[in-house]
Chain A
Amino acid sequence: MKQLLVRSEYCLGCKSCELACAVAHSPGKTLFTAIFDAQTPQKRVFVETNGDLNFPLQCRQCSDTPCIQACMSGAMHKDPTTGLVQVNPEKCVGCWMCVMVCPFGAITESPLHTALKCDRCRELDYEPACAAACPTKALQWIEVDRFATAGRRSWLDHLKEANIHA
């Protein structure tokens, strides 16, 4: 199963993922139509930085689902078909408990004052636009094992370098 995984060392902070995310959640799904939408489309990924490190952060789809535990209205729920944590804005009462318990700060407020977060691009058949938009492949839509394999190989390369210089 694919996950949104990040090689933060490749993130240049260009925010292309943020732009693509907003466009993917606009009615027309293209930049040139989104720019003219009366209701400005909302992004659900945030490129954060601490000065040394950039990181595009969005809902991590935690298995212990603190946001669902904290939700009193049933708005935050697990989609039975996909198993993904999703928000039903119609049930959301804006108590913001989910925002307070989310360890990543990945939930924000929509213009309609309901909880807003990454839905893994439900309207794009779950092909996340943020990863597709990443010019450096810092943000990847990839199987965990494949990502880990690439990580191990790059560690081996690193080791080789270290041995040469030893």
Chain B
Amino acid sequence: MLKAKTIDPAALELLKKAATDGIETVWDRYEAQQPQCGFGTLGICCRHCLQGPCRIDPFGNGPKAGICGTTADVIVARNLLRQVAGGAAAHVDHAYEAVEALELAAEDKINYSIAGEDKLRQIATALGLETPSKDTKALALEVVRVAYADMSNHSRQPLQWLLANAPKERIAVWQSLGILPRNPDREIREAMHQTTMGMDADPVNLVLATAKQGLVDGYAGLKLATDMQDILFGIPSPVVTEANLGVLKSDSVNLIVHGHVPLLSEKIVYWAKKLSAEAEAVGAQSIHVAGICCSGNEVLMRQGIPLATNFLAQELAIVTGAVDVMVVDVQCIMPSLAQVASCYHTELITTMPIVKIPGATHIPFTLENADETAQTIVRKAIAAYKKRDPRKVRIPDQRTTIMAGFSVEAITAALAQLNPQQPLKPLVDNIANGNIFGVVATVGCNNVKVTQDSFHVEMVKELVRNNILVAATGCSAHALAKFGLMNSEGTERFAGDNLKSVLTALGHAAGLGAPLPPVLHMGSCVDNSRIGDLVTAIARYLGVDTAALPVAASAPEPQHEKALSIGTWAVTMGLTTHLGVVPPVLGSKSVTELLTQGLTEVIGGKFYVETDPILAAQGLIADIRAKRKALGLTI
């Protein structure tokens, strides 16, 4: 059971209001779910055929096998493979929509421009396409054709997006293990097939198949989605704004975008500015857009839109009574939002054919009608604003300044101020001399089993204090933004002396007149690809395998299947990948051992589970120290 629900002062304030208003929240439902099923917690429940459900007695007194004869090892491995395939499916589906958007944009069939021409040429070059002579739209269509060819690859050739972007040393490792993915859809289909009744009963084979799903996620999901979105909407560059629910405005129309895909939210941002006169006509100052989860991160990175809050506080955003419309696209959207919204004037709007919530208004979004949909939604927000009940409004006075927009290109541009010929050199030199002891990427969610944001914040404070540079995405980035780890003062307050000196030098060189923040906001969950790109670039610069670098990953408060698939990709990249919540695998000792130790020998990376934030930071630092030692760097 939880000691505290959250450390976020805005959420704490709104939880009191929720109680007064009689609103049930995620924490109430978590309490009602206690105790949670031990078989499910250990991953030893199988529902894959109609002879079941079967479960294994973890203590050996009851059944040792399911009805078909499957053991705990197989059940655990199969369940994990399905979960990771589920996460990969979400990211590949996301990426696919972005590819479609680029195709239609390049064919002038929809009203989306190609704002990231530099990214387009960069990607085309990596894919080996002729670039200089071609016009933007023709080149975009060629890039689209490669992406589509991956999605419809009927050969045994590996995914082109992976071959073009992954480190050579890694590709060799993955090839030797036979886990190079071909067609992402085929691999996800195969995972479903491999785990159905009467199929694979070899836990090692199943874990390798899971690693393959990690590669599907990394290259056909994350990398492809970020690439497409950067081409469409532009490469992020540093922006300064604010985070936490105090960004909502009492005198403006507040429109929250929530979900993951920026195709609609970019249009919302555009039309919110365009239609501000209509808002003024009803007495509002402006139309104010703020973001939750990764739709929030996407429009933050490219448009400087403030962050409202992260996953666990999505209901509490509505409890402010100041949200006029919350528009959602896909993933991490609690169905309970409709119930919460019904207690206020807030209109919850679903937009995607695969996310409908009874009680919400459904306004279908298509690429062809994007502008009309966005305008309708913005006007709904203006109409809802008129119905806002000031007596029910309480906006917590909690906002923190944040700097975001750290794409690899933006980081490289800042470093180029120090060394135009070899921009990565200043970063690598500082890692080599120990000023930056190592890099940890913190990613992923909030999980109601963990006091909201506490693991992200406590662990990262300990890391930066020990001169570890942190890159963050997703809801981890939200948490660290709220707690002042993404601004220059954060460097002064939290960074170790060596890290502080590097960040100060870099900040001044980049013309900020202040240190870079100790945690670099690199974007949404799919933008973990940016971290992958950076790691790949550093490894290439040094001529070493990514597995050798003093770099680690962490999902401190993971809840989603996507966190598992991202984590699996990080492991395949050779990184030690920390999880702050125990995944449902402990029912099999051999699978647990494989994930946390056995894999290292063949793949370089491993999962590392530690549920205490300080111990986790120390564990990651120890891992980084060992990698530094192996590279002959100062420890």
Contacts and interface: CB of A to CB of B under 8 A. Distances in A.
A18 B62 contact: yes
B58 A19 contact: yes
A132 B38 CA distance: 13
Interface in A5-56: 14-16, 18-20, 22-23, 31-32, 34-35, 40-43
A20 B58 contact: no
A103 interface: no
B59 A14 contact: no
Contacts of A40: 59-61
A19 B38 contact: yes
Contacts of A31: 38, 41-42, 586
A105 interface: no
A106 interface: no
A133 interface: yes
Nearest to A108: B61
Contacts of A132: 35
A15 B44 CA distance: 13
Q: By DSSP majority rule, is chain B's interface helix, strand, loop, or mixed?
A: loop
Given A31-B42, A32-B582, A133 B35 contact: yes
A35 B61 contact: no
A35 B55 contact: no
B281 interface: no
A15 B529 CA distance: 43
A3 B198 CA distance: 45
Interface string B547-587: 00000000000000000000000000000000000100011
A3 to B, nearest CB: 21
Q: By DSSP majority rule, is chain A's interface helix, strand, loop, or mixed?
A: helix
B37 A135 contact: yes
Interface residues of B, number: 16
A15 B587 CA distance: 15
A41 B59 contact: yes
A15 B35 contact: no
A59 to B, nearest CB: 17
A43 B59 contact: yes
Nearest to B609: A32
Contacts of A19: 38-39, 58-59
Q: Which of B39, B57, B59, B61 has the most CB of A within 10 A?
A: B59
Interface string B162-196: 00000000000000000000000000000000000
Interface string B593-605: 0000000000000
B37 A14 contact: yes
B37 A23 contact: no
B475 to A, nearest CB: 24
Nearest to A43: B61
A35 B37 contact: no
Contact of A15 (B41, B62, B582): B62
Contacts of B55: 15
B34 to A, nearest CB: 9
Given A18-B62, A22-B59, A35 B39 contact: no
Given A16-B38, A35-B42, A41-B59, 9 more contacts: A16-B35, A16-B37, A19-B39, A19-B58, A22-B59, A34-B59, A42-B59, A42-B61, A133-B38
21 contacts: A14-B37, A15-B62, A16-B35, A16-B37, A19-B38, A19-B39, A23-B38, A31-B586, A32-B582, A35-B586, A35-B587, A40-B59, A40-B60, A40-B61, A42-B59, A42-B61, A43-B59, A133-B35, A133-B38, A135-B35, A135-B37
Interface of A: 14-16, 18-20, 22-23, 31-32, 34-35, 40-43, 132-133, 135
Closest 10 CB pairs of A and B: A19-B38, A40-B59, A22-B59, A133-B35, A35-B586, A40-B60, A31-B38, A41-B59, A35-B58, A16-B37
